[in-house]
Amino acid sequence: MKSTRKFGPVVAALAAVLLTGGLAACGNSDTGGGSGTADDGKIVLGFSQVGAESGWRTANTTSVKDAAAEAGIELKFDDAQQKQENQIKAIRNYIQQKVDVIAFSPVVESGWDTVLKEAKDAGIPVILTDRAVDSADKSLYKTFLGSDFVKEGKLSGEWLVENKKSATAEVNIVELQGTTGSAPANDRKKGFAEAIAANPKLKIIASQSGDFTRAGGKQVMEQFLNSNPKIDVLFAHNDDMGLGALEAITAAGKVPGKDITIITIDAVKDGMKALADGKFNFIAECSPLLGPQLMDLAKKVHAGEEVPARIETEETTFTQEQAKEALPTRKY
C-alpha cells in the first residue's frame, strides 16, 4: 500500500514528461498502418526528424509534411526528440514495414553504418536531409540534401566586400559565432573569413560565441561595444543572435544598420522584419523548406534514377529592399 502511494505521483510525473516532451511523437502512431508498398501504387516515405528544438525545425517539419501531401506521397513521420537511438529504432521500423524510401536528419554525425547497411541490404534507398553523416562508405545513402553552411558564410562575406569596396580606412568587424564546435558555426565562420580575405582592410577584431540565442548575442555584443570604440560591421551566425545584438547596439546609443552594418544568416521572420525595417543590412538564407525538393528526390530514387551525391537546398540572399518584397509571403 505504502509503495503504491509513493509511486503514484512518480508515475503521474513520468506521464507528464511523456506528454509534454512527446506530443510530437504521436506521429509514431501512423507508422503502424499498412505494409510499405501500398496497393494504390503510392510511394511510401519514412522520415525521421531530429526533434522540435527551434522555430527553424518546426518550419522544416511542416514543409516536409505539406510537400508529401501535395506530391501524393504517403509519409510516415517520426520525431526522434534529439536521440540517436530513437532514430535508429525508427529506421529499423521503416525497414520492417518495407517502405519505399527512407529519409532522415541525423541527430549526430557518427554511428550510422550498421543501420544504414541494414537498409541497403533490404534494398531501401536512404536520403539524408539537413545534416550529414561521417560514414566512410558513401554507397550507404543515395544523396545528402541540405544547406551549404560554408556557402552561406561566403555569400555574407562577398556582400560585405562589395559593400565596403570604397572604404579607405580599416573596417572593424565583430563576429557572433554559433554554438562552439557545431557545424554551422564552424562552416559559416570559415566561409566568411575566406570571402573577406579579398580585402585586407576588412578585419575581424573580436569573435565570440553567442550560442545561437538572442540573450547570448546581446550579452556578447554589450561587451564588444564596451571594449571596442569603433565597430563598423557585425556578422552574426544566425538571426536570433543578431536580434539580441540589436538591443545592445541601441542601448549603446548607436543606430543599427547605419552606424554598424549588420549581416546575419537564416532569414527567419523576425530577422526579415528587422531587415525590412532597415536595422539589418543583409541576410543569407538558410531555408528549412526543403520538403518539395525531398519529395522530388524520393520519386527519383524510387524510380531508380541516378541523383547527385550532394544536393544543396534552394537558397537565396536578401537585401533590405528584397526583404520588404518577400516579407508578406514568408512562411516562417
Partner 1 sequence: MSEWKSRFRALAGHRLFWPVVVLAVMLLANTVYRPGFLAVQMRDGHLYGSLVDILRLSAPLILVALGMTLVISTGGIDLSVGSVCAISGAVACLYISKQPDQDSLGAMFTALAMALGLALVLGAWNGVLVAVIGIQPIIATLILMVAGRGLAQLITEGQIITINADPYRAIGLGHFLTLPLAIFIALGAALLIAAITRRSALGMIIESVGGNAEASRLAGIRSGRITFLVYVVSAACAAVAGFMITANVSSADGNTAGLWIELDAILAVVIGGTSLAGGRFFLSGTILGALIIQTLTTSVYAMSISPQTALLFKAVVVIAVCLINAPAFRAKLVRRKPGLPPADVSGDQRKERVPA
How far apart, in Å, do the first and last CA atoms of the chain sit? 52
User: Which residues from 248-267 bind partner 1, rule CB under 8 A?
Assistant: 251-253
Scanning 7-15, 108-116, 128-136, 301-309 for contacts with partner 1 by CB under 8 A, the matching segment is 7-15
Q: Of 1, 3, 4, 10, which one interacts with partner 1 (CB under 8 A)?
A: 10
Q: Which is nearer to partner 1, 60 or 143 (CB)?
A: 60
User: Which residue type does 204 have?
Assistant: I
Q: Of 215, 255, 325, 331, which one interacts with partner 1 (CB under 8 A)?
A: 215
Task: Give the per-residue contact string, 153-192, with partner 1 (x = CB under 8 A; - = no).
Answer: ------------------------x--xx-----------
23 binds partner 1 (CB under 8 A): yes
Separation CA 249–CA 47 (nearest Å):
42
Q: Of 244, 257, 288, 291, which one interacts with partner 1 (CB under 8 A)?
A: 244
Per-residue cell: 275: 531587415
Which strands, in side-by-side order, build the sheet including 317-319? 202-209, 171-177, 233-236, 261-266, 282-285, 317-319
Residue 213: count other Cβ atoms within 10 Å of its Cβ: 16
79 binds partner 1 (CB under 8 A): no
Q: Of 31, 93, 163, 213, which one interacts with partner 1 (CB under 8 A)?
A: 213
Q: Which is nearer to partner 1, 100 or 240 (CB)?
A: 240
User: Which residues from 44-73 bind partner 1, rule CB under 8 A?
Assistant: 52-55, 57-58
- E-assigned strands of the chain? 44-49, 74-79, 101-104, 126-129, 143-146, 171-177, 202-209, 233-236, 261-266, 282-285, 310-312, 317-319
User: Which residue type does 29 have?
Assistant: S
CA–CA distance from 162 to each of 8, 155, 156, 195 (Å)? 65, 11, 10, 10
278 binds partner 1 (CB under 8 A): no
Q: Which residues bind partner 1 (CB under 8 A)?
A: 5-6, 9-10, 13-14, 16-17, 19-23, 52-55, 57-58, 177, 180-181, 206-209, 211, 213-216, 218-220, 222-224, 226-227, 240, 243-244, 247, 251-253, 270
